Structure 1
Amino acid sequence: MEFRSSTISREDEGQRREPAARNRAKSIEISDPEETVGVTLEFRILGPLEVRMKGRTLTIGGPRQRAVLSALLLSANQVVSFDSLIEKVWNGQPPSTARTQVAICIAALRKAFRTAGWDRETIVTATPGYMLTLSGHSLDSVRFERLVADSVRLAAGRRTAEAAEALRDALALWRGPALGGVYAPFAETEAARLDEQRMLTIEQQMALRLQLGEHQAVLGELQALVSACPLRDRLRHYLMLAQYRSGRRAEALTTFRDGMRHSVEEIGLELGTELQELHNAILRDDVPEPAGPAIAVADTSKQNCAPEQLPECDAYFVGRSREQWLLDDALLVQTTQNSSSIAHITGSPGIGKTGLAVNWAHRSAHRFPDGQLFADLRQHEPLDVLHQFLRSLGAEGPLPTDLAEAAERYRSALEGRRLLVVLDHASSYAQVRPLLPGNGQCRVLITGRATLDELLQNPGLLRLRIGPLTDDESREMLAGVLRDTRAEESPETTRHLVRLCGNTPLALRAAGARLLTKQHWRVHDLVRRLERQADRLAELSIGEDSLRARLDRSLGELDPAAAVAYTGLSRLDGPDFCAASASEALEMDQRDAEDLIETLVDAQLLEVVGRGHWGEMRYRWQELVRLHALACRPAQTCGAHLAV
C-alpha cells in the first residue's frame, strides 16, 4: 500500500515529533540509550536503507554492500557469523570467493563511516564474524519498537491520549516499505515482518483513537487503509465502528457487505465471527460503547507481543496452488469445534513439505494476529520446544521441568489467542502431542514422513500427501535458481533434465546449483552426466542435507526386515509392481511381502498407484528413491533372509 495517510509517517513529521517522544519516554521512566545527546550515525531501515550523519546521507555501495549492512543492522549488537552473512547475501549459492567479498564489503562500510567523520569502529570483528554496535548511534526500527512499548505502558495506565500520541510518533518514523533498495530474500522476509508490525501498530492506534471518541477524524484514514488492505478484518471492524458512531449506519452495513463479497471472491471464506457479530449489533442498534471489548487495549498489546518465529521463505518456491487451497479450506475457515484444526503434510524425502508449510504460513500470517510459533522437531525435544514457546508467549521465571506440566502451562498461555503453530519434521505422535493447543482458535501445521495415525482422532484433520512438481513448475524452479537463460535455450533438454531429477524440488535445486557453479556448462552437459544412473544421486547431492542424506536417514529409521525389502524390491524391472511380484523378489509369502510394502508406503518411500486389471494393488517407486535403494543393495543383501 502507498504511504499517504497521516497515520503512516513522513520524514519531516518524524523529525518534528521526535523531541516530544523523548520527553514522554522520560515521564514514564524509560531509559533509551539511543535517545542521548551524542547520537552520531543514524541508521534507517523503515523505508529505503539509509545511513545519515549530521543531517546528510552517506553513500553506501552496491547491492552486496547494502545486503551486508542490512544483515548486520537486523542483528545489531549481536555477532553475525561469516557463514550467516554468506548465506544471506548469496541465498545458499555462494561463489568460491564469498568470504573475501564479505570482507571487502565490511572494509568499504568502515571506510564510508570514517570518511563521513566517524573515527571510532562501528563494525567490530568478533569471532566467528562481525558485530555492528549501536552504542552512540540510532536505528529507527529500535526506536519504533520502544515507542510502541511506551504506548502499551501508557495505555495500561489509562493514559490513552498519550498512548495514541506515542504510536503516532512511532509511525512517523516510516518513510516507505522497509529495507527499500535491498534485494535479497532475507531482506524481503524481514521487510514483510516489519511491515506487518507497522500495520499492527496502525490498528492499535485506530483502537485508541476510537476510545478517545475521534470517530469522524479517523474515517478518511480508515477508508484508505481498508481500501489498500481489504482482507484485514480488524481495520474493517474499526471502520464500521467509526461509521456507525458518526451516524453513518447505512455506510457501516455497506462496508460489511463489501468485505464479505471481497473475502468470498478472493479466498473463498466468509468474514470472521467478530465482524459478523458487529454487523448484527449494528442491525439491532446495540453496539458497545467506545470502551467495549472490541477495541480493548489489552488486545492490542497482545498483538504487539505476538511471536513471529517462521523461518525465511524458500526463494525458489513454485506451484502447489491446489495444496495451498486445501490448506486454506482446512485452517482458515472458522469452526465451532473445541479442538484445533490440524493439517499434516507428508511426502517422500526432498519433495518440498517444509517449503509448502513455510510458504503457506507466511502467506496466511495476517490471519493469525496473536502470532506464529515454529519448531524443527529434528533438532529439539518436546520439552525444549515447550520452553521456547512459553518464553515467546511472555512466560517469565522458572519453567516446569515436567513435560505434562509444561504442556498444561503452554495450553493455558494459548487460551483466548489465535495462533498458528508449525511443527516441522515430526517423526512420532509422542513428539507432537504435548505441542497441540487445547482451544479451537489456534491452528496447527505439521510436516514429516511419519503417518501419525493418532491424529485421525481430531475431527478437523487434513492429511495432505504431496507429490512431485509438474514439468512446468519444475522448469520454473530451475530457471529461478539459475537466474540466466540456459534453461530456456533448449526446452526439450530442460524438460529431460527435470524428469531426471524426478520433478523433486530438492533435486532440482541441486541441479541448478551444479549449473551455477559450472557457468561454462549447458543444460545438456548436466543431462549427459545424470543419464548415468550410477552417478545420478552423487551429481544431485550437495551439502549435508542433500537428497541422498535424507534417504540415508529414512533407510536408517526402518526396521531390519523393511530395510531388506527396500533394497530387495529395487531389483524389480520397472518402477511399478504388485505384491505378487514383490513376494517372488523377496522370496516370502505374499501376505508378509504386503506388510513390508505397506511399511515402506508409510515411510513415504513407495507410492500406491491404484489397482491392476485383476484387482491387485500396485505400487510405484520414485526413480531417485529406487536408485538410492539400488545403491544400498550390496550393503543390505548379506543376511537378508535371516533379517526377514
Structure 2
Amino acid sequence: MKGRTLTVGGPRQRAVLSALLLSANQVVSFDALIEKVWNGQPPSTARTQVAICIAALRKIFRSAGWDRETIVTATPGYMLALVGHSLDSARFEQLVAGSVRLTAEKRTAEAAHALRDALALWRGPALGGVYAPFAETEAARLDEQRMLAIEQLAALRLQLGEHQAILGELQALVSACPLRDRLRYYLMLAQYRSGRRAEALTTFRDGMRHSVEEIGLELGAELQELHNAILRDDVPQPSAPAAAAAHTEKKTVAPAQLPQCDAYFVGRSREQWLMDDALLTQTTQNSSSIAHLTGSPGIGKTSLAVHWARRSAHHFPDAQLFANLRQNQPLDVLHQFLRHLGVEGPLPTDLAEAAKRYRSAVEGRQVLVVLDDASSYTQVRPLLPDNGRCRVLITGRTAFDELLQNPGLLRIRIGPLSDDESHEMLTGVLRDARAEEFPETTQRLVRLCGNTPLALRAAAARLLTKQHWRVHDLVRRLERSAHRLAELSIGEDSLRARLDRSVQELDAAAAYAYAGLSRLDHPDFCVANAADALEMDQLDAEDLIETLVDAQLLEVVGRGRRGEMRYRWQELVRLHAQATLSERTFGAHIGV
C-alpha cells in the first residue's frame, strides 16, 4: 500500500472514512457515525446509507490489495483496524512528543530534526474535502497542532543560531498568520540577530496595527518587552553552551534546512516526474545535476521546489541545504552552509576562498542544495558543488544561459495550474462547501485568478475573512478589472508586490515596453503589433519583447499562419502593466 493513492467516493463516504480514521483501532457506534455524517438531522435511511458506505470502502481497500479486513464489524458499530499500518496524524504526534523529550534533554538539533520529520508529513490541509462539522472541528485542532510544531521548530532553530536561514520562512508565516504573537516574536528576534534592527521594529509596528484593527487589543507583554529590548540594543544572543551543543549535535545529525511545505500545494505531477528523472536517476561524474525552475511571479516555483525537496530528502542523507538568494548575499549563504556542514573556526571572507572551502566540505557527500529566487548566474555560481553526488535545485524568473554548460541541466518553465488543480486549491484553503455550490461561478473565479497559485490563495483568503460572502460576491468584485489586482493582493509578498519587483529589475527600455505593450487591444500579439504600439523599429521591438519573455512577464505562443512569432500576456500581468502605464502617464502629466 505504501505510496498508493486510493480514490474515495462522494462526501458521505469521505465523512464515514474520516470518522473511522479519527478513532482508529476504536469502535465507532452506528449512532455516532450517523450523528457525525448528518449533524443531528439524519434521514430515515441513515443506517442503510452508512452500511452502503462501509461496504464501498471495504471494496476500495480490497481492490487496492489490502489483504486483511480493514473495517471490521464490532458491536455496536465498526472499527478501522490499522494493525501493520500507520497513520500520519499518529506519527506526527509521536514525533512531536519525541521532540519535546529531546528538547528537555538539551539535544536541540535532534529535537529540531524530529519536528522537521513531523511537519513533512503534512501534504495538504487536514481532512481536506470532508465537509461536516465534526471534520471542521478536528481539522482546526490538527491545524493548531501543526502551527504549534512550526513555532517550536522556529524556537529551536533560533537556539541553533539559524536566524538568517529562517528569516524568509518566518516572514511568510507572519504574513499568512499576522495575529500569532509567537511567530511575530521569533521573526523580530531573527531580524535583530541578522543585523536588521529597523526591520524588527517595523515588524512590531505592523503587528500592533493588525492587532488593534482586528481584535481591538495591543500586542502582548512578551512582544512589547522584546520591542523595548531592541530599542535599547539589549537582546541576548544564543548562549555559548547552546552553540557548543549545536556544534556537537551537528556531527551526528545531518543538516536539514528545508522550509516547511506549502500545506495547500497541489498538482505539478509532470514537473515532479521530470525532476525525479533528472535529479534522482541521472548521474554525472564531474558536476552535480541541476534543475532550474522558472516562471512568472506567484506561479508556485518555490512551493514546487520545497515540496519535491521534502519528498526526496531521504535520497540526500548527508545534508539538505536551502538559501533564499533575494534576501542573502552569496558569501553569507556560503558561511551558513559551512556552519551547517560542521565547519568550525574562522571562515574565509573572500568569496572565492569560501566557495572552495564549501566544495571541499561537500566532496563525496550526497547533498541537496536548494537555491531559491535566484536573479543571476553570478549569485548562483559560487554555490554550485562540483561533486557528482550532489544535486542542485534553483528557482527564479531568469533563465541563465551559463547553466547550459552543465551536462545534467533540466530547465522547466512552470505554468498556471489546470482548472481541476485550481479548484482543488480553492477547496483546500476554504474547507467549506462554497466552492462546490455553484461550479460555473467557481470556474469563473479560477479564470479571473489566471489559474495562478498566489492569486488563488489570495482569493480564498478573501472568502475566509468574509464568511458571509458566496463565491459570486468575490467574482463580481474581480470582474472590475481595474480593481482585480488590489482584491487579489494580500500581505507584503502579494502578487502585485512581486510584479512590482520584477519591473524594478528591468532596464529603462524594457520597463517602457512593459507598460507600452499593455495598450494593445488583445493579449495575443506579434512583433509588428508591438512595434506599432511602441512606435519603434520591429527589430528593436523584438529585442525588448524577448527581454520581457526572459523575465517571465510575457509568454511565447508560437508562430502564426504567416510564420510570425506570437506572444501573449497572462491576464493578471497585463492588468499590472496597464496600472504601470497609468502611473507613468499620470507622473508625466504632473511633471514627476
Q: TM-score interval w.r.t. the shorter chain? A: 0.5 to 0.7
Q: What's the offset of the Cα at 1:371? A: 1.4
Q: For 1:427-453, what per-residue CA distance to the aligned partner results, in whole angstroms no more than 9, with x for missing partners?
A: 000000000001110000000011111
The answer (yes or no) to whether the contact 1:373–1:421 under 8 Å persists in 2 is: yes
Q: Which runs of structure 2 are paired with 1:247-258 in the superposition (5 Å)?
A: none
Following TM superposition, by how much is the alpha carbon of 1:76 offset from its aligned partner in structure 2, in angstroms? 5.8
Distance 1:67 1:33, change over 3 A: closer
Task: Please name the residue that 1:351 is paired with.
Answer: 299
Larger Rg, first or second structure (1 or 2): 1
Corresponding position: 1:458 with 2:406: yes
Q: Following the alignment from structure 2 to structure 1, what is the Cα–Cα distance between the partners of residues 311 and 408? A: 21
Letter in 2 for 1:528: R
- Residue of structure 1 equivalent to 2:36: none
| Counterpart for residue 524 of structure 1 | 472
Give the aligned residue type for 2:278: A
Q: Distance in 2 between matches of 1:45 and 1:367?
A: 19
Choose which of 491, 513, 534 in structure 1 pairs with 2:439. Answer: 491
Aligned partner (choices 411, 416, 427) of residue 468 of structure 1 = 416
SS in 2 for 1:527: helix
Q: Which amino acid counterpart does residue 312 of structure 1 have in structure 2?
A: Q
- Cα deviation for residue 87 of structure 1 reads 8.0
The aligned amino acid for 1:512 is A
SS at match of 2:509: helix
AA aligned opposite 1:577: F
Report the Cα offset of residue 635 of structure 1: 3.0
Q: Which residue of 2 aligns with 1:610?
A: 558
Which segments of 5 or more consecutive residues in structure 2 lack a partner in the other structure?
3-81, 86-102, 107-113, 120-139, 186-219, 227-244
Alignment partners' CA distance in 1, 2:342 and 2:336:
10
Corresponding residue for residue 568 of structure 1 = 516
Distance 1:473-1:128 versus aligned 2 partners, 3 A rule: farther
What is the CA–CA distance in structure 2 between the aligned matches of 1:443 and 1:45, rounded to whole Å? 24
- Equivalent residue, structure 1, for 2:531: 583
Deviation string, structure 1 residues 26-60 (Cα, Å, up to 9, x no partner) = xxxxxx9859xxxxxxxx989999xxxxxxxxxxx
Does the alignment pair 1:592 with 2:536?
no
Distance change (3 Å), C-alpha of 1:438 and 1:528: same
Q: Tell me what 1:242 maps to.
A: none
In the TM superposition, residue 561 of structure 1 has moved relative to its aligned partner by 0.8
Give the distance between the partners of 1:89 and 1:446, measured in 2 at CA: 19
2-side partners of 1:419 and 1:69: how far apart? Answer: 29
Unaligned runs of 5+ in 1: 6-31, 36-43, 50-60, 104-123, 131-145, 153-300
Q: Decide which of 409, 416, 420 is 2:364's aligned counterpart.
A: 416
2:397 pairs with 1:449: yes
How far apart are the structure 2 equivalents of 1:509 and 1:389? Answer: 32
Aligned residue for 1:394, secondary structure, equals: coil
RMSD (Å), alpha carbons:
3.9
Letter in 2 for 1:458: N
Contact 2:449/2:572 (8 A) holds in 1? yes
Contact 2:557 2:567 in 1 (8 A): yes
Per the alignment, do residues 594 and 90 of structure 1 end up closer, same or farther by CA in structure 2, a change over 3 Å counting? closer
Q: Any conservation in 1 of the 2:284–2:408 contact (CA below 8 Å)?
A: no
1:308/1:584 CA distance change after superposition, 3 Å: same
Structure 1 residues 78 and 430: CA distance shift in structure 2, 3 A: closer
Counterpart mapping for 1:195-214 below 5 A: none
Letter in 1 for 2:555: E
How far has the Cα of 1:414 moved from its partner?
A: 0.4
User: What is the CA–CA distance in structure 1 between the aligned matches of 2:266 and 2:498, rounded to whole Å?
Assistant: 22
User: 1:483: how far off?
Assistant: 0.9
Number of residue pairs the alignment of both structures matches: 407
**Aligned CA distance change for structure 1 residues 482 and 93 (closer, same or farther; 3 Å):** farther
Determine the C-alpha separation between the residues in 1 that align with 2:466 and 2:352: 53
Task: Kindly state the Cα deviation for residue 336 of structure 1 after the two structures are TM-superposed.
Answer: 3.9
Percent identity over the alignment is: 70
TM-score, length of structure 2 as denominator length = 0.62
The structure-2 alpha-carbon separation of the partners of 1:397 and 1:89, relative to structure 1 and needing over 3 Å to count, comes to: closer
Aligned to 2:65: none
Question: How do residues 430-441 of structure 1 correspond to structure 2 at under 5 angstroms?
Answer: 430-441=378-389
Cα distance change, pair 492–48 in 1 and its aligned pair in 2 (3 A): closer
**Structure 1: how far apart are the matches of 2:398 and 2:510?**
15
Structure 1 residues 4 and 394 mapped into 2: Cα distance closer, same or farther (>3 Å)? farther
- 2:485–2:575: 8 Å Cα contact kept in structure 1? yes
- Does the 8 A contact of 1:93 with 1:513 survive in 2? no
- Report what 2:324 is aligned to: 376
Q: The residue matched to 2:519 in structure 1 has which SS?
A: coil
Partner of 1:341: 289
Q: Secondary structure at the match of 1:422?
A: strand
User: TM-score, normalized by length of structure 1?
Assistant: 0.58
What whole-Å deviation, never above 9, does each CA across 1:95-114 have from its counterpart, x for those lacking one?
A: 8x7669999xxxxxxxxxxx
8 Å contact from structure 1 (residues 383, 406) kept in 2: yes
Of the candidates 431, 442, 456, which is equivalent to residue 508 of structure 1? 456
Residue 76 to residue 451, structure 1, CA distance change in 2 (3 Å): closer
**8 A Cα contact 1:71 1:88, kept in partner:** no
Cα deviations across residues 282-324 of structure 1 (Å, max 9, x unaligned)? xxxxxxxxxxxxxxxxxxx96x431100001001100000000
* Cα distance in structure 1, aligned partners of 2:346 and 2:465: 50
Amino acid at match of 2:258: L
Instruction: State the distance in 1 between where 2:150 and 2:587 align.
Output: 54
Structure 1 residue 126: Cα displacement: 4.1
Distance in 2 between the 1:88 and 1:587 partners? 43
